[in-house]
Amino acid sequence: MRVRATLRIAALLAALLAALLAWAGAASAEALRTWRLSFEVLSSQHALPDEGKKPSYADKDALTRAVLAEIVPYVWTTLGATAARARSRVLPGGYGDEVNPAIHSNLQTSEAEARRLAAALGYVFRQYAVIMYDLAAPESEVRQVSARFARGAVTPALAARFFGLARQQLKSEKLGFSATRSRMIFININTGIADDAFAEGLARAAAAWPEAGIKIEPPKPVRALLIENDWEKAKNGEDYVRALGPNAERLATALSALQRRHDGRVKRWIAFLHPSRPPPQRQAPGAPASPAQPRP
């Protein structure tokens, strides 16, 4: 009798353990969602010369593509993520009154890992914020409105023009967008504008450019988060370091090496855009003036 009872209890415990493992596996699978991380590789922390050539969109685009190939994969692998899991493209992005090339990476992962990746990217590239969002979120207090164009139609010039029209209608310094090749995604985060008014403003912007054939979709839920660091107060990226989670200090040490590498890349890029001028040559007393030298 005791043996049978013991076997029965063991069987029940085994069944319970199997159920718990199945539940944990299902919960883990549900936690993996497709997150999109959008970020730039230049910031106000990278000082550009006041004089000389102003970098064009094409100049910034070339730098961004080089950084995507040379540095971004190492940021991810430093945190243990597999860079091959991500699909990344350089596409227009906008915030405030600027449109710049940005890296948009889609990665199936958990929210916790996406937060850590966003913090690491913001730290290395000295960004004030990296936005991460899940467009397939079933519910959220945050809404996004997409402006759809013809397939493959979203170019830097098109994005800049429509963003200008949107800014005229939605007068918010916090307005921003990310893009795919066929749509511009406006996430209503921190703008202070009601969701319906947000969508109506974008509809008016589309109506001001009828030949573009823009379709404005109704507001939809989006799980969107800004992972931030205030570089004026946290000059060493402490806000990002805290968001790295376990082993934050060790990870920050490894990421600092990538940050220095990126800073050097930006300095070389700036030097290429603004080559230093050779100092003027002094002329020996009594020597005839050169043709390039004006005569008194």
Where do the domains of the chain lie, and which CATH numbers do they carry? 31-140+222-272 (no CATH), 144-221 (3.30.70)
Residue 48, pLDDT above cutoff 60:
yes
For residue 45, what pLDDT band results from cuts at 50, 70 and 90?
confident
pLDDT of residue 256: 98
Strands 143-148 and 183-187: antiparallel
Whether 179 contacts 144, CB under 8 Å: no
If we measure between CA atoms, which residue out of 209, 190, 206, 188 comes closest to residue 198? 188
pLDDT of residue 31: 75
More confident position, 176 or 44: 176
Residue 14, pLDDT above cutoff 70:
no
Provide, rounded to the nearest whole percent, the portion of the chain with pLDDT above 70: 81
Residue 153, pLDDT above cutoff 80:
yes
Residue 24, pLDDT above cutoff 50:
no
Count of all residues that appear for the chain in the document? 296
Provide, rounded to the nearest whole percent, the portion of the chain with pLDDT above 90: 72
CA atoms within 13 A on the CB side of 9: 5
User: What one-character-per-residue DSSP string does 47-115 give?
Assistant: PPPSSSPPPPHHHHHHHHHHHHHHTHHHHHHHTT--GGG-EEEEEEEEETTEEEEEEEEEEEE-HHHHH
Whether 100 contacts 38, CB under 8 Å: no
Alpha-carbon distance of 178 to 160, in angstroms, equals: 12
Averaged over 239-255, what is the pLDDT? 96
More confident position, 131 or 10: 131
